[in-house]
């Protein structure tokens, strides 16, 4: 493995170039030196209290990259949002941080918000606010003009999930599409729907995580950061359809090591979009299959706190109650229809009459 050793402003820097090929190492060396010089320049600007937006941005990127609490996908998402902000605000990166005004922020938000959903807009707004906060920390300015921009109202997504018969037709359409990945894609759809996994969790589930004896699947999440939230593994029971699916797949590959991943594909959104259109149902996403699992569980009589634990929520069911509470109400209404005082009264009359005759 090759390492870089160089000095920036008198400081000796060591960096792994993450390669054992000298040609690749030589190319990466220049990038590492440039990155460290930019970082040093940003820090110096912070110390002097004079900085442009790009200086604060460099510090922010460094904090994100070095964070141990953020998953790789989250770090990538931050980079995507930053790129979107810079594209929508020409010249921002070189602008003096102290000269950014509330009016400019409001004008940017008006145009930027038209192109994005509420959640994405709010994430971008938060990132922009945090970048300027770095300028406040350094003394480059004393207020944050982004605070003048109001967050967009986020409305809960209306769940439009397929009925059991429609779901079967949907999966069958994926399975028989004729693509080389049609069967693996159909298996992934079933796997997500029968287990309620996030698509990023399903990717890392191995045969060793599937306990057929106790009908339990252990969800560990990404190898580096674990599951979303606490990072701790969780145990999800195998419903009957999941057991049938896994036994069928295992029979096709009995010699695969326990370390092998259960799923051969890790996403199938295009196949799902095509199949939904073909069977005439509303488009659904990988995450909607997680909602479908929770919905079927609750409709089958499983209480919401238990479903919440299966999904990996750590709030005791508060989030699940907000998302799926209406299902509990519908179930309650259906159960109430079974209660009849007239039947009880008729039985009591018969019993009374019988007792009188006797």
Work out the pLDDT band at 94, boundaries 50, 70, 90.
Answer: very high
Query: What percentage of the chain reaches a pLDDT higher than 70?
Result: 84
**Looking at residue 69, what is its pLDDT?**
76
**Looking at residue 100, what is its pLDDT?**
94
**Looking at residue 358, what is its pLDDT?**
40
Q: Are 70 and 157 in contact (CB under 8 A)?
A: no
What value does the mean pLDDT take over residues 37-55?
69
**Looking at residue 224, what is its pLDDT?**
75
Q: Report residue 3 as tokens.
A: 């390492």
Query: For residue 166, what are the contacts with CB-CB under 8 A and spacing of at least 6?
Result: 279, 281
| CATH entry 3.40.50.720 includes domain 164-291 | no
**Looking at residue 142, what is its pLDDT?**
87
Q: Which of 260, 259, 262 is nearest to 246 (CA)?
A: 262
Question: What is the three-state SS of 298-329?
Answer: HHCCCCHHHHHHHHCCCCCCHHHHHHHHHHHH
Q: Which of 307, 281, 283 is nearest to 293 (CA)?
A: 307
Same fold, 49-148 and 164-291: no
Highest mean pLDDT among 76-80, 225-229, 305-309: 76-80
Q: Which of 116, 69, 51, 65 is nearest to 88 (CA)?
A: 116
Q: Are 233 and 218 in contact (CB under 8 A)?
A: yes
Q: Are 17 and 28 in contact (CB under 8 A)?
A: yes
Work out the pLDDT band at 356, boundaries 50, 70, 90.
Answer: very low
Q: What is the rounded CA–CA span in Å between residue 328 and residue 333?
A: 9
Work out the pLDDT band at 72, boundaries 50, 70, 90.
Answer: confident
Angstrom CA distances, 122 to 136, 150, 236, 316, stand at 21, 9, 33, 26
Q: Between 226 and 150, where is the model more confident? A: 150
Q: What is the rounded CA–CA span in Å between residue 50 and residue 141?
A: 9
Domain ranges of the chain: 49-148, 164-291
pLDDT tens digits, one per residue of 11-32? 788 888 888 888 888 888 888 8
**Looking at residue 148, what is its pLDDT?**
94
Q: Between 67 and 233, where is the model more confident? A: 233
Mean pLDDT estimate for the chain: 85
Q: Report residue 188 as tokens.
A: 């992934």
Q: What is the rounded CA–CA span in Å between residue 124 and residue 85?
A: 7
Sheet of strand 210-211, all strands in order from the earlier edge strand to the far edge: 210-211, 216-219, 234-237
Q: What is the rounded CA–CA span in Å between residue 257 and residue 209?
A: 12
Work out the pLDDT band at 357, boundaries 50, 70, 90.
Answer: very low
DSSP designation for 143: S
Fold observed for domain 49-148: DNA polymerase; domain 1 (1.10.150)
What value does the mean pLDDT take over residues 232-241?
93
Q: Answer yes or no: pTM beyond 0.85.
A: no
Query: For residue 304, what are the contacts with CB-CB under 8 A and spacing of at least 6?
Result: 298, 317, 320, 321, 324, 325, 328
- Mapping DSSP to helix (H, G, I), strand (E, B) and coil, where does residue 58 land? helix
Alpha helices (H) along the chain:
22-48, 53-66, 72-88, 102-113, 118-138, 164-175, 182-195, 199-202, 240-252, 269-279, 286-299, 304-311, 318-336, 341-357
């Amino acid at each position: 493995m090759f390492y870089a050793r160089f000095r920036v402003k008198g400081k000796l820097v060591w960096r792994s170039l993450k390669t054992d090929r000298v040609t690749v190492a030589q190319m990466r060396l220049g990038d590492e030196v440039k990155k460290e010089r930019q970082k040093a320049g940003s820090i110096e600007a912070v110390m002097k209290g004079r900085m442009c937006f790009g200086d604060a941005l460099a510090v922010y990127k460094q904090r994100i990259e070095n964070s141990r609490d953020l998953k790789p996908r989250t770090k990538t998402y931050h980079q995507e949002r930053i790129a979107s902000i810079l594209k929508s605000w020409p010249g921002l990166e070189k602008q003096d941080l102290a000269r950014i005004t509330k009016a400019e922020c409001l004008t940017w938000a008006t145009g930027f918000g038209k192109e994005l959903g509420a959640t994405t807009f709010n994430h971008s707004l938060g990132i922009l606010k945090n970048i300027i906060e770095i300028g406040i920390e350094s003394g480059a300015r004393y207020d944050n003009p982004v605070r003048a921009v109001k967050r967009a109202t986020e409305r809960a997504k209306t769940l439009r999930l397929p009925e059991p018969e429609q779901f079967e037709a949907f999966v069958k359409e994926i399975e028989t599409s004729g693509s080389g990945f049609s069967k693996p894609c159909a298996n992934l759809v079933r796997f997500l729907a029968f287990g309620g996994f996030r698509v990023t969790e399903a990717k890392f589930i191995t045969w060793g995580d599937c306990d057929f004896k106790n009908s339990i699947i252990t969800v560990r999440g990404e190898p580096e950061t674990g599951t979303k939230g606490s990072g701790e593994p969780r145990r999800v029971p195998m419903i009957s359809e999941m057991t049938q699916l896994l036994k069928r797949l295992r029979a096709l590959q009995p010699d695969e090591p326990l370390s092998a991943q259960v799923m051969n594909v890790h996403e199938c959104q295009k196949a799902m979009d095509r199949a939904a259109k073909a069977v005439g149902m509303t488009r659904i996403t990988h995450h909607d299959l997680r909602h479908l699992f929770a919905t079927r569980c609750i409709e089958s009589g499983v209480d919401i706190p238990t479903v919440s634990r299966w999904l990996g929520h750590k709030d005791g069911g508060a989030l699940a109650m907000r998302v799926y509470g209406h299902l509990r109400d519908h179930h309650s209404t259906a159960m109430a229809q079974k209660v009849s005082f007239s039947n009880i009264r008729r039985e009591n009359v018969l019993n009374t009459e019988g007792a009188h005759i006797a």
